[in-house]
């Protein structure tokens, strides 16, 4: 009988084990050795070989003593049975302290299970629940898991990932070769398919693919996707014939596709953006995070865009709008003989709408407001957020073109013209240097505005002619430029999941596995375009013309920790460059594969792709002998077969996705290795898990060390008890000089087709000149946009890493890689003159000084303290204690907010002011 099948009668090995939820699973000895190893680590005796030896002894003892036959004739060996025996063998082996640690480990695991069940409102945990940590489950339960009308959770993470995977696979079913053909024109009866919209409830959980059942929203997406392709003449069969194939099980092979997408998410190798997790297979059905709307200079269009914005907020997306086409304040309004109120007043309309319309009923919307540098109201726009409480639902950015840049770097003439967008007539001339200094001063004070470099965005834009002009707007976080009424769905690959442990215990990166996940994720995101339920018809049309996707990454800091590569090192930058190039190469290559069977994006023939141009500066600007891949061969495939997606890669903010995956955000270094949390019952510490394991393995994990790190702004730099190699490897955002933050973004930007959401972190005592230099370097490095965050620059700072005993034990300097990169790649004399003071400290150190004749080497040595956080600096934005004059807390859970990737984010519930994660 099944329950007595506990061991192989010949080999005498344990075959099955009963879990706590009474399910029978295969026995895995490695799980015992892992548990013993954790107990050994906790007891200060980390020893992998001893753990494996003890696990083997335990199994042999069970079999040798006839435990299976004599005691468990009537039931399968249980998890609790095995754990009891682990305790016994540890004591028998004279490892009393380890046994004590193991008993404590069991107790903590029991508490953890109970906590998870409470969060999920469940009596038992499934395999997915167990793999996710408590913070991940809290985020999922507060924002993602479906609830009934009473607010009770009605699904777990496993069911969430299943409903997403089923929806994504619908596009694969629609494009089955038995059903779909994009070469010929087929005529089908659309009204027959449309009648099924009235039968959604009748088909709820009736059809299945493999073992997966379609709910009514999956069925609705099937109808919608069929009709979209039938309108284009590409459906070979009627909708009823398609249903017959599904009902007869002839599409059951796509159950494997559903499982593939499901495993990609459950394994934490990839997650799509928040709206997809929220809405896929659910009522709203809107899956995209990023939208851009137009704002023409007439009242009807303004109100139309405002209405569209409301619909986008309701569906879970964020909106970007360029307000530069609106006439300036005080200009004539012919229809009323009055005067215009200007762009900033119309931004207030969107700001108010955002306040009252929650995204998907779960969170407040996010906006990007852009004004280009030539607009007469630009100075008012730049300073409008320096006053607290103004435009709180907006990120704002100044759009810069090459004409402003030429004026800025011109040594002879800094005159720059402001033009009326209505008449195109010059209104007045200003000094471009003064305008840049105003931008820098405002950002120094309030962390806004950001700067968007439209010249860099459009430098390799393949759709300039096809879309009738350049890109002029981005999504709320600035990483996704879009044309008016376009949207983009984003997703992020978790890099920390692509490591293999070698025989010596060290890790190496798994490049083949990375390639396969890139390909699967690319297809996943392309499918979302087809099954998406767009909030506005124009957005549906325009999104499908370019089929833009945004595949990005998260977890880079965790990956570098495991590979023992410092973030801001030559090795770190070169490794990140290869990761970025690989991401774009295989996403584009897979997009070509998809194009062969489904067709290129509709505007392909009108774009520069036909001429062999691609939207990657790395291809155009990095010598071919430095490329890792044969891009010319890929370009030939694109010219011959087309490409499915006009742009394929974007690195978005991954605040909540990173919390679900328990990894670092996007391309950011970790925020802090340790920070303290104080609650009514006491104080405890959050510690980066990889760092915590290293401390334990080297016998360094103590409360005293954690306190010291927390009081050192979450950094190990300058702490004598910490070995130098750990100090160099485990760097945080505050350990990295702000110039190296720009360098890191630039390394990724070379091989990312869209842009990158990253915060350029600056200490509180940097100068306005430093902020200006950050903009200059960002532009010259080829960034498409940049967000500066100086510690102390926002009134609503509420999160602090440090306690009252904070003391910064280190200084931060630019890396030599950055220094050498500037010498080799920056040739603009004005920019070099401006950044020269940053490197003055090198002249009095063992590091190199900048010695190009374009630098002003006669300047007086400048104290490097202006580029560091002094020991007695005021509490920065990372402190974990509330201040009396805090202006804002998390709108969801009223807890703490931090600034990361240019967004406010709550580390408790995962709220983010940006909609891309």
Of 220, 448, 479, 668, the active-site residue reads 479
The pLDDT, as a whole number, for residue 866 is: 27
State the Rg of the chain over Cα. Answer: 29
Selected catalytic residue, list 290, 477, 890, 906: 477
Q: What average pLDDT is seen over the chain?
A: 86
Tokens of 297: 């200079």
Residue 745's Cα: distance from chain center in Å? Answer: 14
Q: Is 434 left (phi over 0), alpha (psi -120 to 50) or beta?
A: alpha
127 secondary structure, DSSP code: H
**Token output for 419:** 């033009």
Question: Which residues, in sequence order, are CB contacts of 172 under 8 Å at separation 6+?
Answer: 254, 257, 523, 527
What digits encode the pLDDT tens for the residues 125-137?
A: 999 999 999 989 9
Residue 544 has pLDDT above 70, yes or no: yes
Q: How confident is the model at residue 67 (pLDDT cuts 50, 70, 90)?
A: low
The percent of residues in the chain predicted with pLDDT above 90, rounded, is: 65
430 band by pLDDT with thresholds 50, 70 and 90: very high
Q: Kindly report, residue by residue over 751-804, the tens digit of the pLDDT.
A: 999 999 998 989 888 999 999 999 999 999 999 999 999 988 865 443 444 455
Q: How far is the C-alpha of 76 from the C-alpha of 84, rounded, in Å?
A: 15
Domain positions in the chain are 2-120, 157-266, 290-458, 489-645, 656-906
The CB-based long-range contact list for 326-332 (8 Å cut-off, 24+ gap) reads 326/295, 326/297, 326/302, 326/421, 327/297, 327/420, 327/421, 327/422, 328/375, 328/376, 328/377, 328/420, 328/421, 328/427, 329/376, 329/377, 329/380, 331/420, 331/422
Given a cut of 90, is residue 452 above it in pLDDT? yes
Our answer to whether residue 395 is catalytic in this structure is: no
Catalytic residue among 393, 458, 461, 475: 475
Q: Which residue has the tokens 């290293």?
A: 694
Could you tell me the pLDDT band of residue 200, with boundaries at 50, 70 and 90?
very high
pLDDT tens column, 2-53: 333 334 434 455 567 777 666 777 778 888 888 788 778 777 778 888 888 8
* φ and ψ of 213, to 5 deg: -95, 140
- Interior angle at CA 131, CA 126 and CA 136, nearest 5: 105
In this prediction, residue 780 carries a pLDDT of 97
H or E element, residue 489:
strand 486-494
pLDDT of residue 8: 43
Please give the Cα distance from 655 to 328 (Å, whole number): 37
Residues 749 and 756 sit within 8 Å (Cβ to Cβ): yes
Angstrom distance (rounded) from CA 790 to CA 793: 6
For residue 199, is pLDDT > 90?
yes
Q: In this structure, what token pair is assigned to residue 519? A: 């390909």
The residue length of the chain stands at: 917
What are the tens digits of pLDDT across the range 141-167? 998 999 999 999 999 999 999 999 999
Q: Which two tokens stand for residue 366?
A: 């996010």
Which band of pLDDT confidence, cut at 50, 70 and 90, is reported for residue 867?
very low
C-beta separation of 546 from 486 below 8 A: yes
Q: Which H or E run contains 254?
A: helix 254-266
The answer on pLDDT for 681 being more than 80 is no
Residue 906 has pLDDT above 90, yes or no: no
Residue 75 above 70 pLDDT? no
pTM for the full model? 0.86
Work out the angle between the directed axes of helices 79-92 and 48-64 (0-180°, nearest 10).
Answer: 110
Using one digit for the tens of pLDDT, what is the confidence trace for 614-628?
999 999 999 999 999
Q: Provide the token pair at 548.
A: 């833009």
477 is catalytic: yes
Residue-wise pLDDT for 564-596, tens only, equals 999 999 999 999 999 999 999 999 999 999 999
Q: Of 118-122, 135-139, 333-337, 342-346, which range is least confident?
A: 333-337
Residue 359: the pLDDT is: 54
The model's confidence at residue 426, banded by pLDDT at 50, 70 and 90, is: very high
**Using CA atoms, how far apart are residues 121 and 142, in angstroms rounded to an integer?**
12
pLDDT at 649: 98
Exposed / middle / buried, residue 194 (Cβ in 10 Å: 0-12, 13-18, 19+): middle
Phi/psi at 426 (5° precision) = -65, 130
Would you call 769 helix, strand, or coil by DSSP? helix
890 is catalytic: no
Question: Which single residue is written with the structure tokens 């038995």?
Answer: 178
Q: What is the DSSP string of 354-391?
A: HHH-EETTTEE--EEEEEETTSTTHHHHHHTTSSTTSS
Task: Tell me whether the omega of the peptide bond preceding residue 520 falls within 30 degrees of 0, making it cis.
Answer: no
Distance CA 841, CA 861 (A): 7
Instruction: Write the DSSP assignment of 661-696 as a string of letters.
Output: HTS--TTPPBS-SEEEEEETTEEEEEE-HHHHHHHH
Q: Which of 168, 274, 106 is nearest to 659 (CA)?
A: 274
What the block records as the tokens of 428 is 């007045």
Q: Lowest-confidence range among 548-562, 674-688, 729-743? A: 674-688
Do 877 and 886 form a contact (C-beta atoms < 8 A)? Answer: no
Identify the burial level of 202 via C-beta atoms within 10 angstroms of its C-beta, where 0-12 means exposed, 13-18 middle and 19 or more buried.
exposed
Buried b (16+ CB within 10 A) or exposed e, 711-737: bbbbbbbebeebeeebbebbbbbbbbb
Q: What is the DSSP track for 813-825?
A: ---HHHHHHHHHH
CA–CA dist 629, 580 (Å, integer): 12
SS3 for 552?
strand
The CA distance from 408 to 830, in Å, is: 9
Structural contact between residues 675 and 685, judged by C-beta atoms closer than 8 angstroms? yes
Candidates 509, 462, 506; CA nearest to 483 is 462
Which region among 697-701, 834-838, 880-884 has the lowest average model confidence (pLDDT)?
A: 880-884
Name the pairing type of β-strands 318-322 and 367-372: parallel
Crossing angle of helices 432-446 and 402-409, rounded to 10°: 100
Give long-range contacts, CB 8 A cutoff, 24+ apart: 34-38: 35/83, 35/86, 35/102, 35/105, 36/86, 36/90, 36/98, 36/102, 38/105
Q: Where are the extended beta strands (E) located within 101-199?
A: none
């Amino acid at each position: 009988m099944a329950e007595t099948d506990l061991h192989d009668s010949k080999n005498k090995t344990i075959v099955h084990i009963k879990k706590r939820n009474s399910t029978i699973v295969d026995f895995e000895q490695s799980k015992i050795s892992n548990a013993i190893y954790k107990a050994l680590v906790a007891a200060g005796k980390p020893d992998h070989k001893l753990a494996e030896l003890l696990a083997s002894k335990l199994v042999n003892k069970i079999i040798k003593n006839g435990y299976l036959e004599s005691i468990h004739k009537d039931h399968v060996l249980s998890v609790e049975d095995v754990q009891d025996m682990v305790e016994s063998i540890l004591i028998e082996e004279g490892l009393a302290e380890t046994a004590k640690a193991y008993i404590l480990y069991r107790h903590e695991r029991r508490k953890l299970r109970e906590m998870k069940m409470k969060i999920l409102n469940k009596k038992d945990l499934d395999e997915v629940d167990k793999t996710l940590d408590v913070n991940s489950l809290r985020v999922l339960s507060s924002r993602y898991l479906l609830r009934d009308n009473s607010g009770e959770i009605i699904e777990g993470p496993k069911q969430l990932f299943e409903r997403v995977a089923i929806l994504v696979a619908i596009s694969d079913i629609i494009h089955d070769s038995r059903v779909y053909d994009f070469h010929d024109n087929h005529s089908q009866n659309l009204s027959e398919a449309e009648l099924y919209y009235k039968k959604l409830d009748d088909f709820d959980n009736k059809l299945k693919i493999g073992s997966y059942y379609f709910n009514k929203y999956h069925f609705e997406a099937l109808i919608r996707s069929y009709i979209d392709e039938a309108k284009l003449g590409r459906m070979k069969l009627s909708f009823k014939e398609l249903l017959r194939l599904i009902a007869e099980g002839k599409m059951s092979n796509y159950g494997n596709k559903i499982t593939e997408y499901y495993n990609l998410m459950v394994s934490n190798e990839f997650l799509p953006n928040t709206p997809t997790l929220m809405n896929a297979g659910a009522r709203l059905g809107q899956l995209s995070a990023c939208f851009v709307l137009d704002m023409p200079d007439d009242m009807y269009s303004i109100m139309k865009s405002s209405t569209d914005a409301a619909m986008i907020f309701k569906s879970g997306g964020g909106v970007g709008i360029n307000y530069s086409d609106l006439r300036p304040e005080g200009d004539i309004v012919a229809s009323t003989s009055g005067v215009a109120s200007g762009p900033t007043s119309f931004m207030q309309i969107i700001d108010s709408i955002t306040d009252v319309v929650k995204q998907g009923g779960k969170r407040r919307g996010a906006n990007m407001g852009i004004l280009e540098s030539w607009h007469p109201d630009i100075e008012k726009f730049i300073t409008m957020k320096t006053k607290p409480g103004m435009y709180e639902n907006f990120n704002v950015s100044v759009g810069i073109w090459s004409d402003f840049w030429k004026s800025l770097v011109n040594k002879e003439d800094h005159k720059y013209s402001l033009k009326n967008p209505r008449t195109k007539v010059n209104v007045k001339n200003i000094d471009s240097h003064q305008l840049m200094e105003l931008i820098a001063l405002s950002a120094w004070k309030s962390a806004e505005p950001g700067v968007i470099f439209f010249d860099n965005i459009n430098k390799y834009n393949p759709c300039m002619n096809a879309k009738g002009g350049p890109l002029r707007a981005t999504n709320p976080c600035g990483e996704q430029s879009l044309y008016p009424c376009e949207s983009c769905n984003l997703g992020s690959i978790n890099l920390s999941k692509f490591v293999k442990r070698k025989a010596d215990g060290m890790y190496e990166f798994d490049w083949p596995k990375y390639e396969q996940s890139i390909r699967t994720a690319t297809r996943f995101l392309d499918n979302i375009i087809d099954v998406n339920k767009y909030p506005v018809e124009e957005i549906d049309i325009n999104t499908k013309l370019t089929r833009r996707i945004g595949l990005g990454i998260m977890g880079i800091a965790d990956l570098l920790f495991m590979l023992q590569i410092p973030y801001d090192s030559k090795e770190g930058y070169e490794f990140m460059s290869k990761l970025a190039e690989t991401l774009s190469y295989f996403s584009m290559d897979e997009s070509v594969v998809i194009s062969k069977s489904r067709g290129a994006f509709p505007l392909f023939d009108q774009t520069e792709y036909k001429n062999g141009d691609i939207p990657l500066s790395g291809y155009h600007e990095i010598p071919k002998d430095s490329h890792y891949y044969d891009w010319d061969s890929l370009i030939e495939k694109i010219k011959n077969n087309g490409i499915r997606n006009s742009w394929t890669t974007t690195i978005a903010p991954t605040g909540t996705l990173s919390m679900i995956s328990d990894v670092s955000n996007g391309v950011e270094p970790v925020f802090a290795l340790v920070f303290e949390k104080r609650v009514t019952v006491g104080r405890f510490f959050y510690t980066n898990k990889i760092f915590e394991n290293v401390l334990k393995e080297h016998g360094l994990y103590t409360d005293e060390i954690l306190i010291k790190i927390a009081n050192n702004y979450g950094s190990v730099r300058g702490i004598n008890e910490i070995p130098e190699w750990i100090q160099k490897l485990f760097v945080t955002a505050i350990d990295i000089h702000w110039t190296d933050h720009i360098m890191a973004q630039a390394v990724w930007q070379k091989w990312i087709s869209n842009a990158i959401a990253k915060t350029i972190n600056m200490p509180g005592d940097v100068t306005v000149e430093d902020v200006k230099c950050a903009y200059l370097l960002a532009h010259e490095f080829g960034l498409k946009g940049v967000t500066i965050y100086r510690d102390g620059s926002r009134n609503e700072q509420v999160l602090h890493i440090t306690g009252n005993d904070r003391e910064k034990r280190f200084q931060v300097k630019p890396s030599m890689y950055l220094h050498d990169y500037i010498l080799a790649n920056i040739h603009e004399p004005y920019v070099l003159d401006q950044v020269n003071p940053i490197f003055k400290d090198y002249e009095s150190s063992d590091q190199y000084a900048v010695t190009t004749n374009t630098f002003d080497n006669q300047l007086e040595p400048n104290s490097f303290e202006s580029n560091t956080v002094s020991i007695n600096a005021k509490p920065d934005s990372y402190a974990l204690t509330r201040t009396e004059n805090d202006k804002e807390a998390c709108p969801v859970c009223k807890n703490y907010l931090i600034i990361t990737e240019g967004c406010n984010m709550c580390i408790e519930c995962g709220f983010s002011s940006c909609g891309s994660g």
